[in-house]
Structure formats: C-alpha cells, structure tokens
Structure 1
Amino acid sequence: MSPQSLFSIYTSGVSPEGTMYSSFQIDSFKLMELLGPEKVDPSDVKLIKEKLFGYSTFWVTREEPFGDLGEGILFLGNLRGKREEVFAKLQRQLTEVTGNKYNLFMVEEPNAEAPDPRGGPRVSFGLLRKEVSEPGPTTLWQYVIALLLFVLTMGSSVEVGIASQLASLPPDVVKYFTDPNATEPPDMQLLYPFVESALPLAYGVLGVQLFHEVGHFLAAFPKKVKLGIPYFIPNITLGSFGAITQFKSILPDRKTKVDVSIAGPLAGAALSFSMFFVGLLLSSNPDAAGYLVKVPSMLFQGSLLLGLISRAFLGYTAMHAATVSIHPLVIAGWCGLTTSAFNMLPVGCLDGGRAIQGAFGKNALLAFGLTTYALLGLGVLGGPLSLPWGLYVLICQRAPEKPCLNDVSEVGTWRQVAIGTTVFFVVLTLLPLWDELAEELGIGLLLLPLLPSDDLLGCCLHDADIYARMQNEQT
C-alpha cells in the first residue's frame, strides 16, 4: 500500500477503493507508520521534481513507493540522455538542493513493457533517506557475537585436525566416543599429543578463512566500500562454513559488487589450492613420511575435480587402497577449496549470489538460486554437507543484496565470463564422484561390510593387501 493510500486511511477511515476500516485497523496502520522507517518529506519530493527532473534529464510521468517498506519514492518516466551522465548530474543537483539528506538510486524500471529506445533497459530513479538506506554501525553486541563465533571456529578447526588422525588415536579413546555402550572414560591425557599435532592443520584451515576475508577488504578499500566485521560459522566437517560479512556502505555500481564479492573466494581458493598442491607433492616424498596421516580413500570421492587431481598425483594403486597416506596440507587445502566453493554458489547473499546479481542482474540470481536450491536439496552438490549448507543459506543468507546506487550499468563481458567460469569450477568441486566413475578411475572404494573389532567399530583397513585378502575370502 502506498504512502498516499495510508494517508487517506488515516484521515478518513476509508481506503481509495471505498473499503471501510475499523478504528482498530486505523490505529494499527498509524502504529506501523510511527514504528517504521522515516519516509521522504513530501515538500522535498516537490522540490526535487521542480529542480532536478525535466526535459534535459528525466521527464517524470508518475511516482510509486520505493524501498523494502515503501518508505521511499520511485520516479518513473522517460530518460532524456545517456543514463550514466544523467545520473551523475542528478546526484550533484540533489546534494545542492537538499544537502546530505537523501540517496538517489538508478534502477531498472519495474514491469517495463519495452526496453529504452536508446538501448538497454528502461530506468527509473529511487529516493531514500540516508539514515534508512545506509547500513547502521556495528554494535558492541555484534562484536561480542563475532568474537564468540570466531572462538568456536577455532575449536572446530582443531577438531578437524584431530579427526584427520583418527586412525592413530588410542583405541580406548576412539571406543569411548564411538561405542554407545562405553561407560568408563579413558585417560584424556592421551589426547594431548594429538591435539598438539592437530594445530598445524587447524592453522591452515583457519588461515584460509582469514585470507578469504582479507581478499574482501583489499578489494573494498580502493573503492571506499566499508565492510562489517566477519561472523565466522563453525563446522566440524570443514572447520568453518566461511563467514557472513555485511556491506556497511552502499555500493556505487555493479562492477564494485562483483569485484568485492569475488575477491574473497578467489583469495581463499588460491591459498587453499597452493596448500592442496604442495600437500600432494609432499605425500609422495619419502622424506615427509613421518608427517603423513591415513585417511579413508572414500574421502576422495567427495569431489569430482579434487578427486581427479589427487588421482593424477598419487596414482591408481595408492587411491585404490582402503586408506591413503597424505600430508595434512592436502586436508587443509581440500577443506578450504570446498568452503570457497560453497560460498561461491549463486544463491542469496552469498559471495556467489552477490557476484551473479552484479554481473547478470536480480532476475538471473533468482533463476540461479532456484536451481542451486534444487541441487542442494537433491544432494547433487556437496554430498552429505548439502542439507546443512542449504539450511544455513535459507536461515542466514537467503535474501539478495540491496541494489547499488547505479544498479543498471553493465559490468562488462570479461567480468561475466570470469563469474561464469568460476561457477563452472564450483560445480566441479562440489559434484561428488559417482560409484561407477570412481571404480573405473580407482578413486576410493565401494562400501564393504566392516570387520568385527574389539577396539574400533570395524576399524580402517590399513593397506591394500588386507583389502585384497578380504575380496578373495568373499569370492
């Protein structure tokens, strides 16, 4: 309902359509008006129409509400020049006429029947008060929550390091945490050496997330874009699901949105791939044998791209064993690449969603987002992590980013190609290897009945010879 309609309800109790409202409903409308954001002053609207718009800039034909709650004014009409030049002129004149009270947005005209005769979409101009349109400062409680989440993320990163050494943990410790019938706790001092040895891997996992955020800040600084404090999301499988980082200033244009959004995942992915690559090299180095950890070969079926790269470095024999000896850097790089790929999914307010919205527009983000939700829901992307990640996005990151000041000008072909290529590699990273291809390539093993054991539940098979003997016995 427009502000004009609300005003008529407040004064007469009758809507423009003639529907009668009770006094309670009218009071409710008044309360919503008082509690809602401050609207544009009608006298300023009149002044702006007289001083800014006209035959040489933009001829206004009608007005509509603008903003999440209709607190602004959207001017629709006909453009009288090049859109970027007209917008720059209107911004200068707005400051001269009203001071520093409002922000002017150039957006695509909603429900336009035809494109602009000069080419490109028809544009309209939205007006919002600065205190309404600009993000508020970070509060003390937000800093406290961010610090708490960071501490939890440190803990989950250490947990990933400990889990990587599961095959070397004392049997009493593993049995206590895996056997529901275990009652006597083991000597927890046995865990101290494993916690200490898990720290380097935890540093690597956490370092990728910090480098990701540094990438965002380095891209935002030269463009004078303010970013909020990151809220890290702990996860016991990857160490972290990344971080929620809000824009604390309005983005000037879509190019800036693309550049700042993609800088973080690319920085994190670059560091992660470096660790992953070096870790694979060290895994084949006899001098690094003392630092290797055993992981189930099934791990490498979690990613089509990373599994194929690992297969090329480690070879068929190593990848076809029940467990694979790898350097912890491989795990840190794997976790970092997976987290970067998740954050580059083209949905909502994720880095990938912001990048798609900036490169191709809000309608494209809607189409990409629906497709992504469907693939996550079916478990096609991300494997067992698809459901928790999808729920996280739905709860925390589902809303698209707010429009830029100039939300119309194109970002250029090379940025669109870069975003499209990045999304392609994201899909390859999160697409698991299906059993037939994994068996053909010798990556991982199909699940077999576990052997009985007094210590571990089934225990891991520690070499390919045991696995071969099992197959012989079964046949």
Structure 2
Amino acid sequence: MLTASETPIITAIVLVFFGILAWGFYRARPFGKLGILAWLQSVVLMTPWLLFFGLFAAGIYINIVGVLFLLVGSTALYIFLGRKLRSAGQDAILRQRATERIAATPALETPENTVNAELKLEEPRIPEEELNAIKGIFGLDTFFATEAIAYQQGAIFKGNLRGEPEEVHKRLTASLEERLGDKYRLFLVENPDTKPVIIVLPSSNDPRPSTISQKIFAGILFIATIATCLEAAGLLLRFDFFENPSRFAEALPIAAGILTILLIHELGHWLLARHHQIRLSLPFFLPAVQIGSFGAITRFESLLPNRKVLFDIAIAGPAAGGIASLVTLIIGLLLSHQGSLFQLPNEFFQGSILVGSLARIILGSALQSSVVDIHPLVVIGWLGLVITAINLMPAGVLDGGRIVQAIYGRKTAGRVTVATLIVLGIASLANPLAMYWAIVILFLQRDLERPSLNEISEPDDARAALGLLALFLMIATLLPLTPALAGRLGIG
C-alpha cells in the first residue's frame, strides 16, 4: 500500500499523465482522422509505462515476461496504427494533389505559363546556365516550382510537392546529377511554415574530412580516456591509480572492461555508417575520472540521405554498447557469490530502477543483507549502462538527440534539447555530475545535426518504437528507486 507521503505524488503523476493525454487529444482534433490516429499512437506508447510504474509504485511488481508482453503488444499496436495513419495520409495527399491540378489547369493552357516561367532568383548566385538546368529538373509530377530565392551559394525553390517525398527526392536528385554531375546537392526540407521546399547548394558545402590536427587530438583524448578508465578502476578498488601506477595490473581488468564497452559502442556506429556508406570522424572520447568516460563525440563526414539513416547510425552505438553492458551485468550477477571481490551496501542497488530490478530478480533475498558481495562484471556492466544512458539523453548531437531528431524532426529536437538542459540543471542541485554533463552539452553538443538530403520522409513505426524504447531504458537506468519502493522490492 502507498504511504501517506507517496499518495499525493502518485496522484500528481497520474493527473499529469491524463492531462498530457487530454492536451494531446485537444491538439489532435483539428486535424481530423490523421490527428486522432497520431494521438492514439502516443497513447499506445505511454500506457504500458504508466501501468508498469503505476503498479510498481503500488508495490505490485511485473515480472520480465509481463514487461515483454507489454512491450510487444504496445509495439505491434503502434505499428498497426502507423499503417492506418500512413494510409489515411496517402488519401489526403491524393485529394490535395487532385485539387491543386484542377486549380492549375487554366494557367497551364497558355504556353508562357510553364512550370518554371516565374523562376527568377533575387540576387542570382548560381550561373544562369546552371540555374536554367536546375529549373529543368522540376515537373508537374514531382515538384511544381513557383518561386526561387537566393540562398547562400545556392537557391531555395518554393512550390508544391506532387508525390511521395522519398520518390520525388530520388528522381530530382538523379535528374540534377544527369545535368550538372556532382556539382550541386539537392535538399528536400520543410520551411518554417512546414511546407516542403527544395534547397540546392554546391557540393563544396559538404562536410569536410577531419584534419590531421583533429585526428591527433582524437588520439590524445583516447589516451586520456585510457588513463581515466584506469583511475576509475583504481577508485573502485579503493586506491588512486595516478598516485600508485605500480598497481596497474590490479586496475587493468576493470579498465579494460570499460574500454571494451566504449569501443563496442563506437563499433556499432561505425558498422551502420559503413552499411549506409556514410563517413564518420574518429570518436572524440570524453575522459571522466568518475566512470572512466562519458562516451565520445562523433561527427558525420558525409551528408545523410534521410532521417532513417540518421536513426540507424545514432541508435546502433547505444544498442551495441547497451546490449554488451546488459549482458555483462547479468553474467556478473549470476557469478556473484559470498566472497566476491566487491562488497557493496544494498543501498547501492537503489541507484537505478533497471539495475535494481535485475539484481532483485537474480540475487533475490541476498539484497536484504546490509552488504552484498558482487562480481566485478556487475560494476563494469553497470558503468557501461550509465555511459550508454548518458549518451541516450535527448539533446543536441548526442545519440539520444539524433534519435529524437530522426523520429520527430528538427523543431521538436530543438525543444527537447532545451528541456533536457533544464532538467539537468535541476538535477545538478542533487548530483554535481548532472551539472558537468549539462555544461558539456551546452558548449560541445547542443547544436542539432545538419539536415539530411531528404528531411521530410520519416522513419517507419518500428524505428520510432525502438527509439522510444531506448529512451525509456535510458530513464530506467538513470532514475533511482525511492527508499519506499526499494523496500517493497526487498532491496534493503
């Protein structure tokens, strides 16, 4: 049962949840069927977690089978609603396209009213011959261009999108390459009014490869990260490695474990980037004495074709590192026994909902002891999960920020970044580590990823569900158990 102090908190959480749902429904109604379907998708994703945490707060623990059932069920329903949403969206697009063509028919009867007749650049920055070649790629069945505006070294073309964004972008890009080779890049993006526009920029604006000095700096940071991993391992073993370097052999196994998880994380990014033929810079690791490293900053050295590729590369690292960390943690818990290397107070397992729940399932009543003996792999896996969770925070060009940008677009990603910084600022009142990470994001990683070539096409529902699951696991890793909830679970 809930205590008197917890009842108002749980009630407030429930009220906030239903308030969010009601606000979402109010915002969705003006968009008709499309809006309601999108709202239902959000309900489907939120409901399982409300059930889990609601029952959890009430002292009712759902086992792993129940959790998996909720995840699979909500994901399947989310995908089903997504298909309905796309089908309804296709119908709306076809109706809009038919209306536009009917409205445009009288204007097309005269020879002078061709597709590109009114396209004149203000302050032309593209040579006239090349501009005419670019104008020639547009058509009634792809993008009906109505206005051209000078932009940087290229141009913005306003008009009406006349087909599926992915197919239109593919056709326009192929046509542009046929006419002008590799000289220009074609971006299909939304303007501030959420209307599709075409931006054509010279390929000289493409991302540049890392310089020699940047590569050297990345190497220096990696060496520093090795040192901080050894120091973190030493602190866990109750000695300062920097003051006692002769104890290198003692710190090496744990430091190697942390480094292995870091490298697996980066390998995940690299493999998916290679699969999509995207160049990545060397990882710029962020050394941290507390946990060895906060992860790494990796820069795209190629333009991304679409948001699906952004999502795939962004989530590959946390997926690889997170799975490796989770497996390491579980193996460590299974190997833990009386007399294991580390003796930790049971309050230690209250620091994470995810880790505490897994420890309760595997270690059982052992967590009721004041001191719990655990295998070193538990510590390595836990640190790996923390590093993964930190990188999954939805801000800027962190993996989590890129995932949010891929699923919801740049506008939402920008707002979520601000919200994340505010939350970290508040959390820093209780944990100085949050302030450190907020500063890192603010100065190094707050900017969003540059737009992909096709910024309009969204990732499919399976990717969206996977991304939201990753963000949920991030919260479950970083969010601690309250003493009361830990007591109900038998931790402490």
Aligned to 1:148: 220
- Structure 1 distance, partners of 2:303, 2:429, is 33
User: Are the equivalent residues in 2 in contact too, given 1:51–1:97 (CA < 8 A)?
Assistant: no
Q: 2:174 aligns with which of 92, 101, 115?
A: 92
For 1:74, give the aligned amino acid: I
CA deviation string 1:349-398 (max 9, x = no partner): 11111111112211221333233222212218994421111111111110
More helix by share: 2
For 2:281, give the aligned amino acid: G
CA deviation string 1:268-319 (max 9, x = no partner): 00111111111111112x5xx3x51223444323212112222333344545
- Is the partner of 1:128 in helix, strand or coil? strand
CA deviation string 1:190-210 (max 9, x = no partner): x634x3122111001000000
- Structure 2 distance, partners of 1:155, 1:201, is 12
Distance 1:157 1:44, change over 3 A: farther
Q: 1:161 aligns with which of 226, 229, 233?
A: 233
User: Are the equivalent residues in 2 in contact too, given 1:150–1:231 (CA < 8 A)?
Assistant: yes
- Structure 1 distance, partners of 2:447, 2:250, is 41
User: Are the equivalent residues in 2 in contact too, given 1:164–1:295 (CA < 8 A)?
Assistant: no
Aligned to 2:356: 307
CA deviation string 1:136-186 (max 9, x = no partner): 1111111111111001100111112111112xx5xxx89xx9xxxxxxxxx
1:312-391 equivalent positions in 2, closer than 5 A: 312-321=361-370, 323-379=371-427, 383-391=431-439
- Structure 1 distance, partners of 2:472, 2:430, is 14
1:129 and 2:182 correspond: no
Distance 1:367 1:381, change over 3 A: farther
CA deviation string 1:228-271 (max 9, x = no partner): 10111111111110011111101111111111110000000011
1:8-157 equivalent positions in 2, closer than 5 A: 40-43=125-128, 46-66=131-151, 70-112=152-194, 122-132=195-205, 134-157=206-229
- How many percent identity over aligned positions? 38
User: Are the equivalent residues in 2 in contact too, given 1:108–1:123 (CA < 8 A)?
Assistant: yes
- What stretches of structure 2 of length at least 5 have no aligned partner? 1-120
- Structure 2 distance, partners of 1:147, 1:296, is 38
For 1:220, give the aligned amino acid: A
1:204 and 2:265 correspond: no
Aligned to 2:68: none
Aligned to 1:409: 457
- Structure 2 distance, partners of 1:292, 1:242, is 26
Distance 1:192 1:294, change over 3 A: farther
User: Are the equivalent residues in 1 in contact too, given 2:428–2:435 (CA < 8 A)?
Assistant: no
- Structure 1 distance, partners of 2:383, 2:323, is 13
- Structure 1 distance, partners of 2:454, 2:211, is 29
- Structure 1 distance, partners of 2:135, 2:149, is 17
Q: Which has the higher mean CA deviation after the structures are superposed, 43-52 or 123-132?
A: 43-52
- Structure 1 distance, partners of 2:212, 2:297, is 17
For 2:479, give the aligned amino acid: L
- Structure 2 distance, partners of 1:381, 1:201, is 30
User: Are the equivalent residues in 2 in contact too, given 1:76–1:109 (CA < 8 A)?
Assistant: no
For 1:86, give the aligned amino acid: V
Cα deviation, residue 324, structure 1: 3.0
User: Are the equivalent residues in 2 in contact too, given 1:311–1:319 (CA < 8 A)?
Assistant: no
User: Are the equivalent residues in 1 in contact too, given 2:125–2:150 (CA < 8 A)?
Assistant: no
Aligned to 1:279: 332
**Normalization by structure 1: what TM-score?**
0.73
Aligned to 2:320: 267
For 1:90, give the aligned amino acid: L
- Structure 1 distance, partners of 2:176, 2:376, is 58
- Structure 1 distance, partners of 2:150, 2:379, is 52
Q: CA RMSD in A?
A: 2.5
CA deviation string 1:414-462 (max 9, x = no partner): 1111111111111111112233333554546xxxxxxxxxxxxxxxxxx
User: Are the equivalent residues in 2 in contact too, given 1:373–1:390 (CA < 8 A)?
Assistant: yes
Distance 1:318 1:110, change over 3 A: closer
For 1:163, give the aligned amino acid: L
1:399 and 2:447 correspond: yes
- What stretches of structure 1 of length at least 5 have no aligned partner? 8-38, 113-121, 178-187, 445-475
Aligned to 1:31: none
Distance 1:64 1:319, change over 3 A: farther
Distance 1:407 1:340, change over 3 A: same
Q: 1:422 aligns with which of 463, 470, 480?
A: 470
- Structure 2 distance, partners of 1:44, 1:157, is 58
- Structure 2 distance, partners of 1:382, 1:304, is 18
Cα deviation, residue 402, structure 1: 0.7
1:181-260 equivalent positions in 2, closer than 5 A: 192-193=246-247, 195-260=248-313
For 1:346, give the aligned amino acid: P
For 1:312, give the aligned amino acid: I
User: Are the equivalent residues in 2 in contact too, given 1:233–1:242 (CA < 8 A)?
Assistant: yes
Cα deviation, residue 78, structure 1: 1.5
- Structure 1 distance, partners of 2:440, 2:468, is 24
- Structure 1 distance, partners of 2:235, 2:129, is 62
